[in-house]
Structure 1
Amino acid sequence: MPSTSTKTASPLWVIIAFATVYLVWGSTYFFIRFAMQGGFPPFFLGAVRFIIAGLIMMTWCVIKKEKIFNKKDIITASITGILLLFVANGIVIWSEQTLPSAMVAILVSSAPIWFVVLDKPHWSVNFRSTATIIGLIIGFGGVILLFSEQIGNIFKSADAQAKLPWMLLLVVGTISWSGGSIYSKNRKSTSSTTVSSAWQMLAAGLVYVPVSFLHGEYKGLHLQNIQPHGWMGLIYLIIFGSIAGFSAYVWLLQVRPATQVSTYAYVNPVIAVILGIFFGGEHISLTQIGGLAVILLSVLLINLSKYRKEKKAVELVNG
């Protein structure tokens, strides 16, 4: 992903980056579970995934002779990485062991709403855009509709009340992700996107290590006992989920409005459902099809006002 110091970027690169975040991150829920089923403990998985991905990216930066040591940038990247990849991502991984994936997907999809609430510098823009606000509400409603059948089963279960603390914890994780993303976007960095992403992953990966020890994950862990599909899941998460997906996300935050970038949270559950249909033998109902349509409509609405402004700006320039 080419680095940029401005708020403009090639439309082609923007499309590629959005496609990467939409498609790849929609599949990471599947591969996280895949890796854990293969024998990787959750926090150990996070440590290995982000440390290896960060080292690979940092090595590439060194080969390209980029400046990697800037104290201010490292501190900013470390705070961002811990908020996004450790707090938010770690809560998702931890919660998936207790909560059904449908409930996790719904609570995580509230991220776009928190983006608008926490992005104070852009309140005057976001809250004046009717299309954006309606799109956010419709999108969240679409995700609920998509998983409405599973939600009913969750609240009918005997341990429904026991799941409430985990649901609240997921809300905290979602706020952490949104807040960390906005913090990163509003902090100017002299480092390239690749360098920033590498430091973010390394910082998060290193924090995962002591947490994994505290949870006793290293006791009885033998790498030779990890199943082949566990290694396959880890490799996918490193290459696609971290290096490709996260780098694209960090870059998009620098060149597009946060509300636009946050639409990944609505699209990812769609990709997860589609993967479940094709690879998990799951079936899709008319209600779910309706939910998919509503979600896609919301993404269109959220982007509509921005597209109109850009079109008007182009027309003014061309006279």
Structure 2
Amino acid sequence: MIIETSVSGRAAGAPPDRTVLLLLALYGCWGSAIPAMKLMVASVPPLGGAALIFLVAGVVLAVVARGRPRPPRVRQLWPLSVAGVLLLVGGQGLATVALTAVTASLGALLAAAIPLWVVLLSGLIGTRVSVASLVRLVAGFGGIVIVVLTAPDAAIGGTPWAVAAFCVAPILWASGSLVTANIGQPVDRVVASAVQLISGGSVLLLVALSLGEFAPARWSNVSWTSAGAAVFLLVFDSLVGFMLYTRLLENTPAPLVSTYAYVTPLVGAVIGATVLDESLWVGALVGGVLVLGAVALELRGR
């Protein structure tokens, strides 16, 4: 998942010949994130694993960011830190815990609502929301309701709390995105992401320690599959995906780059159904079309 930042950048020109390949690579990196999280939490403590991934990624980006302009402490550094906690603790951390009890396919479809929550929360804090956006919000959230109400026990895992948690996580992620977007003065994207990863990862680390997730017994039976999934998330979700996203924003029109918001949940659901052998039900297909269609139309309308 991307940590959205408010940055200054060059005016996007015509997409280069390799834009399609870069977009496909981005779809693959971020679309596979939720299935990889599902594999990781099979034997890795969820909050502890997420904390380590975010902290390592944050340190790597902090090294890359050496020499770049640093954000002012009060005006930007603290808001970025708050946004990092909302994004990575409330958003991705909660989703990681929920994945211990729901399928990756269901999680991917529920996470697709993040752009819709951004629009709704923006309206609640005073941003004008058009009638067309309201219609898209109704359609999108209606799709989420259909997905949840029709989900069989095989998708929910018999634990409705996890579905509720995965419905709350996108709200917190959207809140963190709004905090970041309203910082004001543009911030260097690499610096901002490093701050958010380190701040969010540090809080997750404290929570994981308080819950005993770093007790040796919790890590004694970690499988190679889960460990490999954690490494995959670090390399491809947090680092390679970030670099692809940044590169695309520098050279590609933003509306084209924003297609990741509705393509990656589809990729995640497909990977869950095929690679992880999870079941997709009719309600998921109908609701998923409504959600992804609403997100696509909202992004095109911006």
Contact 2:50–2:201 (Cα < 8 Å) also in 1 = yes
TM-score by length of 2: 0.76
Q: Percent identity?
A: 22
Q: What residue is the counterpart of 1:134 in the other structure?
A: 135
Q: What residue is the counterpart of 1:93 in the other structure?
A: 96
Higher helix share: 1
Q: 1:143 to 1:7 in 2, by over 3 A?
A: farther
Q: What residue is the counterpart of 2:36 in the other structure?
A: 31
Q: What residue is the counterpart of 1:57 in the other structure?
A: 61
Q: 1:48 to 1:169 in 2, by over 3 A?
A: same
CA distance in 1, matches of 2:297, 2:233: 31
Structure 1 residue 77, shift from structure 2 partner: 1.6
Residues 166-217 of structure 1 show CA distances to partners (whole Å, capped at 9, x for unaligned) of 4444444322111110110111245410110011001111111121111111
The answer to whether the aligner puts 1:112 opposite 2:115 as a matched pair is: yes
Q: What residue is the counterpart of 1:192 in the other structure?
A: 188
Residues 101-142 of structure 1 show CA distances to partners (whole Å, capped at 9, x for unaligned) of 455445434333321121147732x324x2x33334334445
Q: 1:119 to 1:262 in 2, by over 3 A?
A: farther
Residues 244-280 of structure 1 show CA distances to partners (whole Å, capped at 9, x for unaligned) of 445738x97xx959xx95972x544321221134323
Could you tell me which amino acid in structure 1 is paired with residue 47 of structure 2? F
The answer to whether the aligner puts 1:298 opposite 2:294 as a matched pair is: yes
TM-score by length of 1: 0.72
Q: 1:284 to 1:210 in 2, by over 3 A?
A: closer
How does 1:80-229 map onto structure 2 within 5 Å? Answer: 80-101=83-104, 103-120=106-123, 123-124=127-128, 126-128=129-131, 130=132, 132-142=133-143, 151-153=151-153, 163=160, 165-189=161-185, 191-221=187-217, 226-229=222-225
Q: What residue is the counterpart of 2:274 in the other structure?
A: 278
Q: Aligned match of 2:226 in 205, 227, 230?
A: 230
* Bigger CA radius of gyration: 1
CA distance in 1, matches of 2:22, 2:134: 24
Contact 1:7–1:256 (Cα < 8 Å) also in 2 = no
Q: CA RMSD in A?
A: 3.9
Contact 1:106–1:144 (Cα < 8 Å) also in 2 = no
Contact 2:30–2:264 (Cα < 8 Å) also in 1 = yes
Contact 2:81–2:196 (Cα < 8 Å) also in 1 = yes
Q: 1:171 to 1:204 in 2, by over 3 A?
A: same
SS across alignment from 1:123 = coil
Q: 1:226 to 1:109 in 2, by over 3 A?
A: same
SS across alignment from 1:174 = helix
Could you tell me which amino acid in structure 2 is paired with residue 274 of structure 1? V
CA distance in 1, matches of 2:285, 2:106: 18
Query: Unaligned regions of 5+ residues in structure 2, if any?
Result: 1-5
Contact 2:113–2:295 (Cα < 8 Å) also in 1 = no
SS across alignment from 1:116 = helix
Q: What residue is the counterpart of 2:3 in the other structure?
A: none
